[in-house]
Amino acid sequence: MRTVLLADLVTVARTLAALPGQERAACLGRLVEQAHSAHKVSKRLGHSHPAWGDGSLGSAASGLPRRREPLGLDADFLDALALIALMLACRARKRSDKHPLSLSQTSTMC
């Protein structure tokens, strides 16, 4: 998966916020896998995956329905954003744990 940008976070949070709460984690997991696969395809073939895009998290969600970006505080949007942040933190932590010289500490969140 490509580096996650702020626009990716907003796009995916809008997508997840459109779903019932109990479906969000599974959908996010699928989007991450699709983005990861699309990035591999993009690097290998030199062009984007036809359905999942260029390997960014936002492009994996681009074909899915999503809510409008909230103008104020919106609990569903913030819950979705928190879920994405937690997933990214867990992935970063697991990746850094693979390196023996890592200074990261173990967390109970993952």
Distances (CA, A) of 51 to 48, 55, 62: 8, 11, 9
74 — pLDDT class (breaks 50, 70, 90) = very high
Average pLDDT over residues 33-52: 83
* Residue 85 is assigned to a structural domain of this protein: yes
**pLDDT computed for residue 102 by the predictor:** 45
| Residue that wins the pLDDT comparison between 66 and 45 | 66
47 — pLDDT class (breaks 50, 70, 90) = confident
98 — pLDDT class (breaks 50, 70, 90) = low
Mean pLDDT of the chain: 86
**pLDDT computed for residue 51 by the predictor:** 72
* Residue 65 is assigned to a structural domain of this protein: yes
* Residue 38 is assigned to a structural domain of this protein: yes
Structural domain boundaries, residue 51: 6-97
Number of domains present in the structure of the chain? 1
**pLDDT computed for residue 107 by the predictor:** 42
105 — pLDDT class (breaks 50, 70, 90) = very low
* Residue 106 is assigned to a structural domain of this protein: no
- For the chain, give the percent of residues with pLDDT over 90: 58
* Residue 105 is assigned to a structural domain of this protein: no
Phi/psi of residue 10, nearest 5 degrees: -65, -45
